[in-house]
Structure 1
């Protein structure tokens, strides 16, 4: 298997800086905003974006995390005994602009499942999507609002976001068979 690093630590930090500023700018500040990271990589990225926005704006911003395992349309194909993580959204979603955060968007199915899960917690004013990597290949009409890097992945390629919070180092790698 061949791997290639397409983003290093500095690239990831620069992208998260830009995404954080774009979120504040597009929403005219942080009033009524909330961040929700999708397990697992999206949670770590949401926490980083959260720290950056709070440092810029000097205001507290609600943050939560979401497990979408049982909302996926393919969960029974992945495993007969799925590992379900804990969701934690400790704030009301009504009238909030929710920024969903994930590491990679590909087919759009994870994001669709996340939107279904969010609606079980309440009805936000809007949902926006921030991702570190957009690899194209959508099967559903879902597009990110904030993107760190766009990569057109070929068939058989895998894109992995490795983060130091998950026992590694910060990098994005493409693996080819």
Structure 2
């Protein structure tokens, strides 16, 4: 167990962990995915978990892990047996972007994350002055993590734009991971 081949597509539920700094919009994204209704959220202490189904009929257990500074030390505890990571960035908060990038790098360097596909969601795209996807791609340098499939997508948890498309992108990342893991068997 614990090899890439154990992360098979036939798995009944893919385990997806969603991380990011506090106030990046993780819980709002989760509530949009669950009900497409706006929900007033407060900072997550610990985690929220929800079962979802992608448009391709893939069942997901989506773990929304709190992003407050004092909670990030426990992030490593959520990474074992992870099939995919969603990392949420506040694309309008340029001052915290270096902190977010450092945390993303820590997560991706965790032994449990080897080969795990990553969907980076640039949230709050509707806000004036938010960084574009091309600006973020240059700053994030995700190419340095060439041992995995990854995708950068823009979205707005506030108005829902890009959320469903992000779920489709996640399903594709999981499918590509399955193809890669089958080649290793």
More helix by share: 2
Give the TM interval when normalised to the shorter protein: 0.3 to 0.5
Q: Tell me the TM-score normalized by structure 1.
A: 0.42
Q: Tell me the TM-score normalized by structure 2.
A: 0.41
